[in-house]
Chain A
């Protein structure tokens, strides 16, 4: 029998949908190894999130609250998570593959001498062991991984698991937060600069409109935003568009950026480099607009239009407005 501990993802005071996807993953693990799943959230003051966390069907919700925890400093979070894992005899620790999950969990793994698998997309049970599938080589190979340590540490790719919908109310326990370790004297949090956006979160949006180098300027990128806004969608970009300064790097989709899987993905003025495709190929419907009919993006698109985007995008906006009426 085992128990699973989920590290909740909270951003801007909100329990992110990625947490619900992690719950789905955890329930699958529990169905294989028995036990139950619990949730741990860390932050300065979690009173506003407590109810949402308690609705996730967990055996228990642990809240670790102390000044500075919102900053998610790995050196601060690690011993706190370790204590909960040890005290609760958890066998599997899992978080969404958010930037915080990626930053903190490997540090926790080293601290606990535990093996870790990143960005898990599937779990099966075979010969008494959990087998995790994870993409490698920019999603061109899937590896099946077995972890041989008593505690197994994971990040999962939220886009690959349905979001668990909330039920019930779990007991909530406020834990005693261990004192800040000495190493905190060596790292100082100076601030957070938010990438301002009025649009839905890229990782959660049902529609994503991404632009590439073909947009040619920051001003032109507005064409991408117009289409996104019309559809209530999020805006994405390629590395080339980010590096050229058209848009903030928080919106980069790809192997080394955000992984998205909306119902509808528009790839506009981008070639479809494999590093980009790695971040969007799980989208349900992919539309490509590119003036080059040879562009690799057409190989992964459901619908392609070979056209000049400066003509096609405004037309598309007009057409969609017509049918929306």
Chain B
């Protein structure tokens, strides 16, 4: 079985309040911030590994995990991070963030699917820089494949023919079964210890969160292949449908008062804020 995992690099999400807007308001710059794999995509890599492993943390996969990205040359670094976790190889399609929209991303992924013929594509539910939450649903439609978005739990049968997915939706959890080939988008809970059950490694739980790369993993990743392609190689239509024409800083909240006692708080809420 082959799983394609998409990965976008993003400016360190824990410091998203430090991104800056250029003087003319046409660009966001993240100078000084570290580039990282989009967390949801890292969770996607973890999910793919858990689906294919023949035992908890065995590292031996019943198939191949290919990490694909559209971005500048430097994203090789984040691809290597995913390879160090245990993915087999990478594909880097060169492209600039500001010349992409979700549809171009989805079209590019569709071309890669045509080329690679995976059984499953795993994507993050959203890239935490653009916060769009669109690309996986678009890809599924372009391919004519079923989608299971916002996956908090995935169970696959031993023959890896389908996935039963618990989707995190408003008001609770919706359970669907999708036949492969399919597109999944993963949510936060997929990396809880029981987020993936592949009915082979059952009985033991994973650690919370995506795995750390071992030293051996990092060494091995250096030798794993990364294919480099261009949008033109793939014949992707690059017309932007959605243009972000300017950026502004939202109004910031300012810090209020610190009160000494709960009594004082109640009095303020009643007399000043008038919310009680």
Contacts and interface: CB of A to CB of B under 8 A. Distances in A.
User: Are A and B bound to each other?
Assistant: yes
Closest 5 CB pairs of A and B: A115-B241, A106-B137, A302-B256, A110-B138, A110-B141
A270 B175 CA distance: 31
Interface string A119-159: 10000000000010111111111111111110000000000
A304 B257 contact: yes
A57 to B, nearest CB: 25
A99 interface: yes
A59 B200 CA distance: 56
Contacts of A138: 13, 16-17, 128, 131
Contacts of B262: 305, 307, 312, 315-316, 319
Contacts of B150: 99, 102-103
A117 interface: yes
26 contacts: A74-B140, A75-B147, A99-B169, A100-B170, A102-B149, A106-B134, A106-B136, A107-B138, A110-B139, A136-B247, A137-B19, A145-B244, A187-B176, A187-B177, A188-B176, A192-B173, A193-B173, A195-B172, A255-B128, A256-B125, A273-B14, A285-B275, A303-B273, A304-B255, A316-B262, A320-B266
Size class of A's contact patch? 35 or more
B245 A144 contact: yes
Contact of B253 (A75, A242, A256, A281): A281
Nearest to A181: B144
Interface in B129-164: 129-142, 144-150, 152, 164
Given A98-B170, A114-B241, 14 more contacts: A103-B137, A137-B129, A142-B249, A143-B244, A147-B243, A187-B148, A187-B177, A190-B164, A193-B166, A194-B171, A194-B172, A301-B255, A316-B265, A323-B266
Interface residues of B, number: 88
A203 B146 CA distance: 29
Contact of B247 (A142, A315, A316): A142
B182 interface: yes
A111 interface: yes
Contact of A303 (B106, B125, B257): B257
A122 B241 CA distance: 19
B230 interface: no
Interface string B167-208: 111111111111100100001110010000000000000001
A218 interface: no
A20 interface: no
Contacts of B103: 109-110, 115
Interface in B233-274: 240-250, 253, 255-263, 265-266, 268-270, 273
Contacts of A191: 174-175
B108 interface: no
Given A137-B28, A146-B245, A147-B242, A110 B256 contact: no
Interface stretch (A23-31, A42-50, A170-178, A292-300): A292-300
A293 B259 CA distance: 11
Contacts of A71: 174
Nearest to A117: B242
Given A147-B241, A239-B188, A190 B250 contact: no
B16 A11 contact: no
